[in-house]
């Protein structure tokens, strides 16, 4: 009698957790309506109107890879390439393997002035980063939860089972799912700390002379143009230290860029 | 009177002027009716030189008696000639007569010789000239010995002396700065009619950059000048603006040219006036005598530009300048052209001013500047302006700045360097029309030609699952609650599982502990049944007592036990073969005898004893 009660409570708790974990804010109908209106405007070539509607949803704090892709496309059509790149990049953060977003981002990047060659990294670092960036932070978080659940379940089966073969099988399965879980947590954590400590940003000022130190009178080191992606590595006052993909560093004003 | 004669000779090459002069002479002479009897002879001659002595008189005379030319060889003479001149001016007729007696002489030896006076009788009256001295010198005559005063007249023999034609160079300053403009003038002083070699020759100037100031003139400028009392026609053969290229003493080497002097080779009258007037066409013949004339040499002491205060990017401009810059348009779109003009205006070595270093923004496509010169060369030197016109095309939008350009020059007047800065130009470049990047430009830095004509992929129109931007799941409270919940659930499971295992273990241990007692109790029940008729009941009890014992001891439920598995488990527990054999025997006997009637009472006791013994042995061996 008492044992039955415990199992009941556990079941309720578990299902609650899962509905919370897989929770996604199912659309507020007003937002859906806005998006539909924006889609129609876009198809009719009324990009200003489409932009306004998409932005109203985005600025209300909502996001989805599709919404950001559409915003990027709208900016692209309005010939605001830096903004288009910014939103494509943001969309890629949500859906890193979306082929349409990648294609459009590539097209937008071909329209900017700077072509900065990335410094090649050692292959395993590159693979590690590729693996890390193959899922979004939300996806990694979900994977980690699912992995944890599986690990615990498999461990339980391993413990309960009296048959040797079953025990062996579930021992290994549980070990693998534990490794997956730990990596998922690690990647989610890395993505999060990266986006907080060293956020990437898109340049919005048409032409910037990047300074050697956070001082308007200091030497110009190099020139970058709007649309270029940089990584922010430090900040002092309203100055930001940035690093471009080729590895060069310099200081620019906060107003010159927008974080992805 | 002498002055008048001199004037006649010096203007002999200006036929237009001559007439006027003659008119002037006429009006003085003809109406004055004064008899003039005079001699014209060189003051000095060179040994071996032919020369003429001409006596002229402006009225018809008789009984001319020449002097005794002691110290000279008389080649011919006196040769008499006459000329007349009739003019009609404003209806008035006037005439002049000139008689001349010419001697051709040769200077034999050096020295100073007195020539006596000549006499003539005109209208019964005696006239005579003054005696004069002729100096005969060896070799070329020094310039200082040039005839002056009364004796001077145009030489009419075939020889030309250095005081007839000479060549001079002069500079307007002897002590210029390096790069400062110096005007060099080459002048030919002449009393003869000469043909110049066209000005093609260039003076041998080394260490200078030069500019010909006369290149636009059609003819050589001429003037008149009196040198040592002699009037010369001065021909400006060369006028150069030169700029010393180095400091120190620079020697301007003598410049040598050849001129053709037009010299009267034979005279009938000996009268220069008539000779010139009719030229060679009537009475005289002329020949061109090539002569070489050479300038003096000149030394300039060129000062170096001061080292103190010299700007770093001073590029050698010396003079007085102003500097201006302009740029247009200031508001434009990408790929439109900007014109920047930097103009240097003033006088000095304009043509040597090089373009200034202009730093354009890196997004500007620039070309070499076009150099526009508006330089005029006047007699005072070079002045005007030099403009550097830059064409720049901004390739990227934004606010671009062309930093000020500083033009430095040295002002020789003040001896100081001066700097003029152009304004800073700021260009507001907007993105050009057309959203396509110019292929010509994109080809330079980007490989996106393959994209031209392609378009972005279309928007997503389906239902969108929106998420909150701030909700990244990872790191949220919800996430950790879920992780903690799962771990909690697992921990709960573990606790329950452990407890159940412990419980199970307790049951086994208890049964184990109670097994012997239980078995003995059952065996006692069997003993009471020894005498019982129902042998089946006895064997059942005995078998269940043994099975129960084994089951409890092994912790295996009875239902799961068979003879074989029990034996196996007991073997695992280290029970000896003998004890197991006995156990199997007892169990088999029980099984067998339950259903086999007969042999009443027999063997029951022995089986029971064996069962007791088995249990005792098992107990002993299991305890080990």
Write the CB contacts of A105 (distance below 8 Å, at least 6 apart in sequence). A72, A85, A88, A89, A92
Residues with Cβ < 8 Å from A89, sequence gap 6 or more? A105, A200, A202, A229, A260
Q: Does a structural domain hold residue B463?
A: no
Cβ-based contacts of B456 with chain A (< 8 Å): 73, 76-77, 103-104, 107-108
Write down which residue in B415, B430, B445 finishes a domain. Answer: B430
Residues B14 and B131 in one domain: yes
Chain A neighbors of B472, CB-CB under 8 A: 137-138, 141, 192
Categorise residue B39: left if φ over 0, alpha if ψ from -120 to 50, beta otherwise.
beta
* A176 — pLDDT class (breaks 50, 70, 90): very high
More confident residue, B189 or B33: B189
Reported confidence tier of residue B199, pLDDT bands at 50, 70, 90: low
Q: The domain spanning residue A224 has which CATH number?
A: 2.30.30.40
The answer on B191 and B124 residing in a single domain is no
Q: Are residues B293 and B321 in the same domain?
A: no
Contact A138 B472 (CB under 8 A): yes
Q: Domain boundary residue among A179, A197, A215?
A: A197
Q: Which residue has the tokens 């907080």?
A: A196
State whether A113 and B396 contact (CB < 8 Å): yes
What mean pLDDT do residues A3-14 have? 74
Q: Which residue of B has its CA nearest to A106?
A: B456
Residues A36 and A92 in one domain: yes
Our count of domains for chain B comes to 4
In a domain, B452, yes or no: no
A140 and A188 in a single domain? The answer is yes
Please compute the mean of the pLDDT values over residues A100-127 and round it to a whole number: 85
Q: Quick one: A68 and A56 in the same domain?
A: yes
Range of the domain at A241: 200-259
Rounded mean pLDDT, A118-130: 85
Whether residue A99 sits in one domain with residue A59: yes
Asked whether the beta carbons of residue A73 and residue B463 sit closer than 8 angstroms, the reply is no
Question: CB burial class (10 A; 0-12, 13-18, 19+) of residue B413?
Answer: exposed
- Would you call A110 and B459 a contact, using CB atoms and an 8 Å cutoff? no
Flag whether residue A258 sits within 8 Å of chain B, measured between CB atoms.
Answer: no
The residue among B376, B401, B430 that closes a domain is: B430
Among residues A197, A219, A244, which one ends one of the domains?
A197
User: Which residues of A fall within a CB distance of 8 Å from B400?
Assistant: 207
Which residue do the tokens 């006076």 mark? B117
**Partners of residue B435 in chain A, C-beta under 8 Å:** 79, 111
Q: Which domain holds residue B405?
A: 311-430
Q: Are residues A206 and A192 in the same domain?
A: no
| A57 near B CB under 8 A | yes
In angstroms, rounded to a whole number, what is the distance separating the alpha carbons of residues A39 and A59? 17
B403 and B521 share one domain? no
The predicted pLDDT at position B602 comes to 61
In a domain? residue A93: yes
pLDDT of residue A25: 52
CA dihedral angle for residue B578, residue B581, residue B586, residue B590, rounded to 10 degrees: 180
Could you tell me whether strands B425-430 and B331-333 are parallel, antiparallel, or unpaired per DSSP bridges? parallel
Instruction: Sort out which chain B residues have CB atoms less than 8 A from A226's CB and list them.
Output: 397-398
Are A144 and A185 found together in one domain?
A: yes
Phi, psi of A38 (to 5 degrees): -65, -40
The CB-based long-range contact list for B482-486 (8 Å cut-off, 24+ gap) reads B482/A17, B482/A20, B482/A21, B482/A145, B483/A144, B483/A145, B483/A148, B485/A13, B485/A14, B485/A17, B486/A14, B486/A17, B486/A145, B486/A148, B486/A149, B486/A152
Asked if residue B454 belongs to a domain, the reply is no
Shortest CB distance from B467 goes to which of A24, A79, A103?
Answer: A24
Which tokens hold the place of B374? 């508006």
Average pLDDT over residues B381-395: 87
Q: Within an 8 Å CB–CB cutoff, is residue B473 touching chain A? A: yes
Q: Å from B573 to nearest chain A CA?
A: 20
CA atoms within 13 A on the CB side of A231: 14
Residues 228-257 on A with a CB inside 8 Å of B are none
- The answer to the question of residue B550 being in a domain is yes
A80 φ/ψ angles, rounded to the nearest 5 degrees: -105, 85
pLDDT tens column, B110-142: 888 888 888 888 878 888 888 888 888 876 433
Q: What's B321's domain CATH number?
A: 2.60.40
Q: Is residue B449 part of a domain?
A: no
Phi-psi region of A133 (alpha: psi -120 to 50; beta: other; left: phi over 0): alpha
Alpha-carbon distance A32 to A25, whole Å? 12
Q: Quick check: B279 contacting A, CB < 8 Å?
A: no
| Range A202-210 average pLDDT | 90
Give the whole-angstrom CA distance, residue B282 versus residue B110. Answer: 37
The CATH number for B571's domain is: 1.20.120
Nearest to A68 by CA among A51, A46, A81, A44: A51
Window 361-390 of B, Cβ < 8 Å to A: 361-363
Give the highest mean pLDDT range of A20-29, A250-259, B23-32, B284-293: A250-259
Q: CATH number of the domain at A70, please.
A: 1.25.40.10
Window from A68-82, B12-26, B345-359 with minimum mean pLDDT:
B12-26
CB contacts < 8 A (A, B): 170
Say what the pLDDT of residue B262 is: 77
**pLDDT, average across residues B604-620:** 82
Q: Is residue A248 part of a domain?
A: yes
Kindly state whether residue B321 falls inside one of the protein's structural domains. Answer: yes
Chain B residues within 8 A of A145 when measuring between CB atoms: 479, 482-483, 486
Q: Rounded to an integer, what distance in angstroms lies between the CA atom of residue B486 and that of residue B284?
A: 140
Query: Is there a domain that residue A232 lies in?
Result: yes
Residues A46 and A63 in one domain: yes
C-beta of residue A234 within 8 angstroms of C-beta of residue A213: no
**B146: which 2 tokens?**
């040039």
The verdict on B3 and B144 lying in the same domain is yes
**Contact criterion met (CB < 8 Å) for A141 and B451:** no
The verdict on B182 and B125 lying in the same domain is no
Say yes or no: ipTM exceeds 0.90: no
* Same domain as B145, residue B32: yes
Say what percent of chain A tops pLDDT 90. 33
Per the domain annotation, does B396 fall within a domain? yes
Q: Measured between CB atoms, which of A73, A152, A185 is closest to B456?
A: A73
Chain B residue numbers touching A111 (CB-CB < 8 A): 435, 437, 448
User: Greater confidence, B271 or A146?
Assistant: A146
Judge whether B610 lies within some domain: yes
Residues B159 and B106 sit within 8 Å (Cβ to Cβ): no
Task: Examine the domain organization and report whether B237 and B110 are in the same domain.
Answer: no
Measure the CA–CA gap between A88 and A66, rounded to whole angstroms: 10
- CB-nearest to B482 from A17, A64, A107 is A17
- Residue contact B460–A61, C-beta within 8 A: no
Q: Please name the member of B459, B473, B494 whose beta carbon is closest to the beta carbon of A142.
A: B473
Residue A14 belongs to a domain = no
- Do B543 and B582 share a domain, yes or no? yes
Interchain CB distance below 8 Å, A138 and B474: yes
Query: Phi/psi at B152 (nearest 5 deg)?
Result: -65, 130
Using the predicted structure, report yes or no on whether residue B152 has a pLDDT greater than 80: no
Residue B436 is predicted with a pLDDT of 43
- The domain boundary, picked from B381, B415, B430, lies at B430
A126 CA: distance to closest CA in chain B (Å): 24
Quick one: B294 and B340 in the same domain?
no
Q: Tell me the chain A residues in contact with residue B359 when contact means C-beta distances shorter than 8 Å.
A: none
A17 contacts in chain B (CB < 8 Å): 481-482, 485-486
Site from B429, B453, B459, B469 to mutate, A interface, most A CB atoms within 10 angstroms? B459
pLDDT band (50, 70, 90) for residue B151: very low
Q: Is residue A19 part of a domain?
A: no
Of B446, B485, B493, the CB nearest to A17: B485
Instruction: Tell me if A80 is assigned to some domain.
Output: yes
B-facing residues of A in 178-197 (CB < 8 A) are: 185, 188-189, 191-192
Does A6 reside within a domain?
A: no
For residue A3, being part of any structural domain is answered with no
Residues B198 and B141 in one domain: no
**B458/A67 Cβ within 8 A:** no
pLDDT of residue B4: 42
A47-84 per-position pLDDT tens digit: 999 999 999 999 988 888 999 999 999 999 898 999 99
B370 plus B389 within the same structural domain:
yes
| Calpha distance B418→B318 (Å, rounded) | 10
Inter-residue contact B424 to B403 (CB < 8 Å)? yes
Q: Give the end of a domain, one of A197, A226, A250.
A: A197
Whether A71 has its CB under 8 Å from any CB of chain B: the answer is no
Q: Does B490 touch chain A (CB under 8 A)?
A: yes
Same domain for A83 and A136? no
Domain total of chain A? 3
Q: Does pLDDT of B404 surpass 80?
A: yes
């Amino acid at each position: 009698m008492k044992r039955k009660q415990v199992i009941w409570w556990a079941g309720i708790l578990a299902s609650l957790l899962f509905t919370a974990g897989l929770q996604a804010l199912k659309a507020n109908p007003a937002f859906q309506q806005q998006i539909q209106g924006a889609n129609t405007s876009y198809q009719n070539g009324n990009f200003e109107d489409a932009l306004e509607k998409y932005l109203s949803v985005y600025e209300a704090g909502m996001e989805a890879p599709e919404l950001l892709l559409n915003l990027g496309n709208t900016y692209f059509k309005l010939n605001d390439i830096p903004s288009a790149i910014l939103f494509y990049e943001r969309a890629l953060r949500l859906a890193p393997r979306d082929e349409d977003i990648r294609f459009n981002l590539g097209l937008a990047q071909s329209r900017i002035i700077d072509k900065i060659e990335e410094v090649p990294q050692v292959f395993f670092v590159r693979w590690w980063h590729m693996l890390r960036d193959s899922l979004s932070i939300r996806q990694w978080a979900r994977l980690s939860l699912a992995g944890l659940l599986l690990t615990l379940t498999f461990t339980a089966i391993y413990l309960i089972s009296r048959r040797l073969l079953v025990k062996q099988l579930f021992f290994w399965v549980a070990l693998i799912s534990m490794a997956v879980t730990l990596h998922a947590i690690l990647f989610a954590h890395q993505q999060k700390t990266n986006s907080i400590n060293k956020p990437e940003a898109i340049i919005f000022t048409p032409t910037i002379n990047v300074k050697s130190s956070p001082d308007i009178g200091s030497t110009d080191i190099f020139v970058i143009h709007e649309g270029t992606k940089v990584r922010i590595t430090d900040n002092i006052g309203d100055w930001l230290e940035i690093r471009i993909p080729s590895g060069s560093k310099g200081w620019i004003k906060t107003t010159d860029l927008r974080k992805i | 009177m002498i002055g008048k004669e001199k004037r006649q000779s010096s203007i002999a090459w200006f036929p237009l002027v001559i007439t006027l002069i003659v008119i002037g002479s006429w009006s003085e002479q003809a109406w004055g009716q004064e008899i003039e009897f005079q001699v014209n002879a060189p003051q000095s001659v060179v040994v071996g030189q032919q020369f003429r002595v001409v006596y002229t008189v402006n009225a018809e005379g008789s009984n001319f008696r020449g002097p005794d030319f002691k110290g000279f060889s008389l080649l011919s003479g006196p040769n008499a000639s006459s000329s007349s001149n009739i003019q009609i001016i404003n209806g008035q007729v006037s005439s002049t007569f000139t008689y001349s007696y010419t001697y051709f002489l040769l200077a034999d030896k050096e020295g100073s010789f007195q020539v006596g006076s000549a006499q003539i009788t005109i209208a019964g009256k005696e006239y005579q000239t003054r005696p004069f001295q002729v100096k005969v010198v060896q070799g070329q005559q020094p310039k200082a010995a040039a005839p002056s005063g009364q004796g001077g007249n145009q030489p009419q023999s075939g020889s030309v002396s250095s005081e007839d034609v000479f060549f001079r160079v002069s500079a307007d300053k002897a002590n210029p700065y390096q790069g400062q403009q110096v005007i060099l003038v080459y002048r030919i002083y002449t009393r003869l009619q000469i043909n110049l070699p066209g000005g093609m020759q260039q003076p041998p100037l080394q260490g200078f950059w030069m500019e010909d100031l006369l290149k636009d003139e059609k003819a050589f400028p001429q003037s008149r000048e009196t040198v040592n009392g002699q009037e010369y026609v001065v021909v400006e053969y060369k006028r150069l603006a030169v700029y010393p290229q180095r400091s120190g003493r620079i020697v301007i080497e003598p410049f040598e040219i050849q001129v053709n002097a037009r010299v009267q080779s034979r005279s009938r009258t000996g009268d220069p006036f008539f000779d010139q007037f009719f030229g060679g066409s009537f009475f005289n013949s002329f020949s061109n005598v090539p002569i070489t004339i050479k300038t003096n040499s000149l030394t300039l002491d060129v000062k170096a530009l001061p080292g103190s205060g010299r700007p770093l990017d001073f590029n050698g401009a010396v003079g007085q300048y102003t500097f201006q810059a302009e740029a247009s348009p200031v508001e434009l779109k990408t790929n439109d052209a900007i014109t920047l003009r930097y103009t240097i205006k003033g006088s000095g070595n304009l043509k040597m001013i090089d373009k200034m270093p202009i730093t354009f923004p890196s997004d500007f496509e620039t070309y070499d500047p076009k150099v526009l010169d508006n330089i005029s060369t006047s007699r005072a030197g070079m002045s005007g302006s030099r403009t550097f016109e830059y064409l720049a095309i901004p390739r990227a939008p934004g606010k671009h700045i062309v930093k000020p350009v500083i033009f430095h020059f040295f002002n020789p007047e003040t001896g100081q360097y001066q700097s003029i800065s152009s304004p800073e130009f700021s260009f507001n470049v907007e993105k050009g029309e057309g959203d396509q990047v110019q292929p010509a430009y994109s080809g330079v830095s980007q490989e996106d030609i393959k994209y031209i004509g392609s378009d972005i992929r279309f928007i997503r129109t389906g239902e969108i699952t929106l998420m909150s931007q701030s909700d990244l799941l990872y790191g949220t409270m919800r996430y950790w609650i879920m992780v903690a919940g799962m771990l909690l659930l697992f921990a709960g499971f573990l606790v329950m599982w452990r407890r159940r295992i412990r419980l199970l273990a307790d049951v086994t241990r208890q049964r184990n502990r109670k097994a012997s007692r239980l078995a003995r109790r059952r065996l006692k029940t069997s003993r009471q049944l020894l005498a019982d008729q129902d042998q089946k009941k006895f064997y059942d009890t005995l078998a269940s007592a043994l099975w129960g014992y084994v089951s409890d001891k092994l912790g295996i439920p009875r239902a799961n036990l068979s003879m074989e598995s029990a034996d196996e488990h007991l073997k695992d527990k280290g029970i000896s073969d003998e004890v197991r054999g006995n156990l199997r025997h007892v169990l088999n006997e029980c099984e067998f005898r339950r259903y086999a009637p007969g042999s009443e009472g027999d063997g029951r006791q022995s089986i029971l004893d064996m069962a007791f013994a088995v249990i005792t042995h098992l107990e002993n061996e299991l305890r080990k």
